[in-house]
Structure 1
Amino acid sequence: MNILPNSFEARDVAYHFHGYTNARTHEAKGPMVIETGKGIRVFDNTGKSYIEAMAGLWSVAVGFDEQRLVDAAAQQMAKLPFYHNFSHKSHGPAIDLAERLIGIAPVPMSKVFYTNSGSEANDTILKMLWYRSNAMGQPQKKKIISRLGGYHGVTIAAASMTGLPNNHRSFDLPIEGVLHTTCPYYWRDGRDGESEEDFATRCAEDLDAMIKAEGPDTIAAFIAEPIMGAGGVVVPPATYWTKIQAVLAKYDIILVADEVICGFGRTGKMFGSETLGITPDVITMSKQITSSYFPFAAIMVNDRFYQPIADESERIGVLGHGFTAGGHPVGAAVALENLNIIEERGLVEQAAEVGGHLLRRLNEMTAHPLVAEARGRGLLAAIEIVPPKESDTIFAPGELGGRLNALMSENGVISRNMVDALAFCPPLIITQAEVDEMLGIVTKSLDQLASELGSKGTA
């Protein structure tokens, strides 16, 4: 990239410190500057168009130019631009949204607590678990089990629950009391001759063994995404969740469903817990709750979880936790209108229908020499990239995925590679014709990479 003096790119490099970026590479390369959006597309500051196959960061349900969300934000900004929910204060949008969320919950829930991000929400859940255990006279019951490859955020506690090495390296994480059990990534971790059913059994047995080794009376909760996102769009085997929940029930362990990516229609149901047959005690929500037009998140808890916390707040005199902007009136108003749009336009059902088409097309791509597997539910999917069989070159993990991702970007599709898995999580408004257009660019990019590797593609 030729970075011109005083350009957006030059000023970004000069003044902007990015997350999830190699800082030194960024200093040399500079950013892609996105300037506008329309529907499923975004446009950079040169006018180049991209299909946003990641919905931003797994999060823009209704597209990048939904005027109703803009209007909802403006109207609330004019009426009440900010208020908090400390010390018995509240406001209409927060009350309306809490009632709405409880009404659409996949299982009976009791209360909603607001935060600003999924990371803060999961951090809050761990604090609440500790608080709850103390309230119940179980001070030893403080550990939480997550999964290798899971993603739960970047605050100190949430990053500890995240099971990805780069979220721990040089941060001195994970903190004590956060454990990681087997990742249900059958394509990668299934043993020779092991069926998916047997693999699911092994995952449950591994969890059971960890609980026994640590002491069942020390485990407060198990947290997991219904379908893993940043870990590679990992869809667990069919019986996985049935077996996992049986283990948790045996030891009376709280189940936290992290629905930050899966929630609000992404998997073809309103919540991923419905798609996967999960009965959680706590649900984490963010991203698509406002289509990320406004930073906003929430946790939803059942009465089993809530009542001991309420009792402890009475004993102490206050629940000493909260966020200045938690339940922000503008964010809550945007969330309510976003949910209206999702329901009025049938976007959950559209995600199921168009997502079925997406997965069929991705499965057809497994005929390509570089594609080993396709997987997904609804509009959350991935393909796994491997070297051509005839190649004797050793590629570093993520090398092929990164090269394909770069080619796709050059050709007009923004995706994301998690090591060598390429993710597809487009806005819920995407049509079958737009899916075909997107995958045509993916096929072109695969063939280009195959050509670079000296293999024959399938263009």
Structure 2
Amino acid sequence: MELRPNSTEARDVAYHLHGYTNARAHEENGPLVIDRGDGAHVFDTAGKRYIEGMAGLWSVAVGFNEKRLIDAAHRQMQRLPFYHNFSHRSHRPAIDLAEKLIGMAPVPMSKVFYTNSGSEANDTILKMVWYRSNALGKPEKKKVISRLRGYHGVTIASASMTGLPNNHRSFDLPIDGVLHTICPHYWREGREGESEEAFATRCAEDLEAMIEAEGPETIAAFIAEPVMGAGGVVVPPATYWQKIQGVLSKYDILLIADEVICGFGRTGRMFGCLTYDIRPDIMTMSKQITSSYFPFSAFMLNEKVYAPIADESARIGVLGHGYTAGGHPVGAAVALENLKIIEERDLVANAAERGAELQAGLAEFIDHALVGEARGVGLIGALELVAPDSRAEEFAPGRLGTHMNAIMLRNGLMSRNMMDAMAFCPPLIVTASDVAEILDVTRRTLDDLAGELSR
């Protein structure tokens, strides 16, 4: 791609370092600049229309031009554009939102703590877990177990809990005390002749063996997404969560449910915890909490977690942690309005109904020569690409996915490949025609890719 001097694309290359991007390749190719949005679609600066099959980054529930969220931000900007929650200060939007979230929680929760991103939330959770262990007189109880291919953010602590190699390479991660157990992907990790439930049992046994080897008295918490997102949309095998929770209960280990992607309707229930009968001690929330119209995140903790933290802050005299913009009044106001829209328009039911159409459509691709597995729940799904049998050695992991992603973009669908898994996560407002468009473009893209490989 030749960049015109002083064009928007050239200025981006000149001044902007991008996340999750090959910086040198970006210098050569430049960005795709998105200019505006309308419902489930976005448009680039040339006016080309794309259906947003990823809701931005798993996150825009109500679409890309919801006036009620814009108006909510404007009203709050006019009334109180900023205030903090340090030193016994507060403001009405933060109070109202905390009350709302506690009322929505799938299990009894005690308090809400505000942060600015999912990464920050999970980073803070780890600090709070350490703080709580010290408060309980158990300074050795500090380790946290995550899962291979799990995704929990990119700060030093949260990236350590993330179980993806590229989030560790050259960053000197993970830090000590963060462990990773087996990824619960039955299609990839299951053994020949092993049933789904037997695989779930093996996952729980793998977790228990790790706990025993490390010493149960040293393990503070287990963190996991109800459905893995960035690790490839991994849906838990049958009985998995029941068996995992049994192990955690046996050893008095806290369960942290990372609902950053699953929360607020994505799985066809308000929370992924409801979909899989998960009873967490701590829940992380971000992304769809404001439909990403404003950077905002939070976590809820139950009384079992909160009480020792509160006692320790009384002993020390202060809880020495917080963020300038944590619980930002504009973000809290947008979140409240966003949750009203999700409830008033019954978007969780829409996610279940349109999700059934999406999952049925993806399942039809399983007969395609380039598809190894179709998986998902609600409005989150994936197709796992496989190379033709005769050419498997030609394709390094991720090559097929990268190629398909480029063709998909050319065909007008925003997706994202995690190695060779193509992800689908459209806004909760999608219509039946939007789902049909996603599936139609996917079908054409698979055929285009197969045609290119045959030449």
Q: TM-score, normalised by structure 1?
A: 0.98
Aligned to 1:169: 169
1:376 aligns to 2:376 (yes or no): yes
Aligned to 2:180: 180
Instruction: Provide the C-alpha distance between the structure 1 equivalents of 2:316 and 2:324, rounded to a whole number of angstroms.
Output: 21
1:191 Cα deviation after fit: 1.0
Aligned to 1:221: 221
Instruction: Provide the C-alpha distance between the structure 2 equivalents of 1:353 and 1:389, rounded to a whole number of angstroms.
Output: 36
* SS of match in other structure, 1:194: coil
Instruction: Provide the C-alpha distance between the structure 2 equivalents of 1:226 and 1:32, rounded to a whole number of angstroms.
Output: 32
Instruction: Provide the C-alpha distance between the structure 1 equivalents of 2:401 and 2:389, rounded to a whole number of angstroms.
Output: 16
Aligned to 1:67: 67
Instruction: Provide the C-alpha distance between the structure 2 equivalents of 1:3 and 1:45, rounded to a whole number of angstroms.
Output: 14
Aligned to 2:262: 262
Q: Which amino acid aligns with 2:226?
A: P
Q: Which amino acid aligns with 1:92?
A: R
Worse overlay, 93-102 or 183-192 = 183-192
Aligned to 2:397: 397
Q: Deviations over 1:263-291 (max 9, x none)?
A: 00000000000001100000000000000
Instruction: Provide the C-alpha distance between the structure 1 equivalents of 2:312 and 2:171, rounded to a whole number of angstroms.
Output: 33
1:37 Cα deviation after fit: 0.3
Aligned to 1:7: 7
* SS of match in other structure, 1:188: helix
Q: Deviations over 1:378-405 (max 9, x none)?
A: 0011011001234355200000011011
1:194 Cα deviation after fit: 1.1
Aligned to 2:106: 106
1:201 aligns to 2:218 (yes or no): no
Aligned to 2:250: 250
1:66 Cα deviation after fit: 0.2
Instruction: Provide the C-alpha distance between the structure 1 equivalents of 2:123 and 2:390, rounded to a whole number of angstroms.
Output: 47
Aligned residue runs from structure 1 range 404-415, under 5 A: 404-415=404-415
1:366 Cα deviation after fit: 0.7
* SS of match in other structure, 2:334: helix
* SS of match in other structure, 2:217: helix
Instruction: Provide the C-alpha distance between the structure 1 equivalents of 2:190 and 2:394, rounded to a whole number of angstroms.
Output: 22
Aligned to 2:146: 146
Aligned to 1:432: 432
1:2 Cα deviation after fit: 2.3
1:344 aligns to 2:338 (yes or no): no
1:127 Cα deviation after fit: 0.2
Q: Which amino acid aligns with 1:170?
A: S
Aligned to 1:354: 354
Instruction: Provide the C-alpha distance between the structure 2 equivalents of 1:251 and 1:367, rounded to a whole number of angstroms.
Output: 44
Instruction: Provide the C-alpha distance between the structure 2 equivalents of 1:85 and 1:137, rounded to a whole number of angstroms.
Output: 29
Aligned to 1:92: 92
Count of aligned pairs between the two proteins: 455
Aligned residue runs from structure 1 range 306-317, under 5 A: 306-317=306-317
Aligned to 1:44: 44
Aligned to 1:121: 121
CA contact (8 A) 1:121 1:297 kept: yes
Aligned to 2:327: 327
Aligned to 1:58: 58
* SS of match in other structure, 2:454: coil
Q: Which amino acid aligns with 1:14?
A: A
* SS of match in other structure, 1:158: helix
Instruction: Provide the C-alpha distance between the structure 2 equivalents of 1:231 and 1:281, rounded to a whole number of angstroms.
Output: 23
Aligned to 2:271: 271
* SS of match in other structure, 2:113: strand
CA contact (8 A) 1:369 1:389 kept: no
Instruction: Provide the C-alpha distance between the structure 2 equivalents of 1:392 and 1:134, rounded to a whole number of angstroms.
Output: 52
Aligned to 1:33: 33
Identity %: 73
Instruction: Provide the C-alpha distance between the structure 1 equivalents of 2:390 and 2:153, rounded to a whole number of angstroms.
Output: 39
Instruction: Provide the C-alpha distance between the structure 2 equivalents of 1:329 and 1:30, rounded to a whole number of angstroms.
Output: 36
- After TM superposition, the runs of 4+ consecutive aligned structure 1 residues lying more than 6 A away are none
Q: Deviations over 1:107-162 (max 9, x none)?
A: 01000000000000000000000000000000000000000000000000000000
RMSD: 0.8
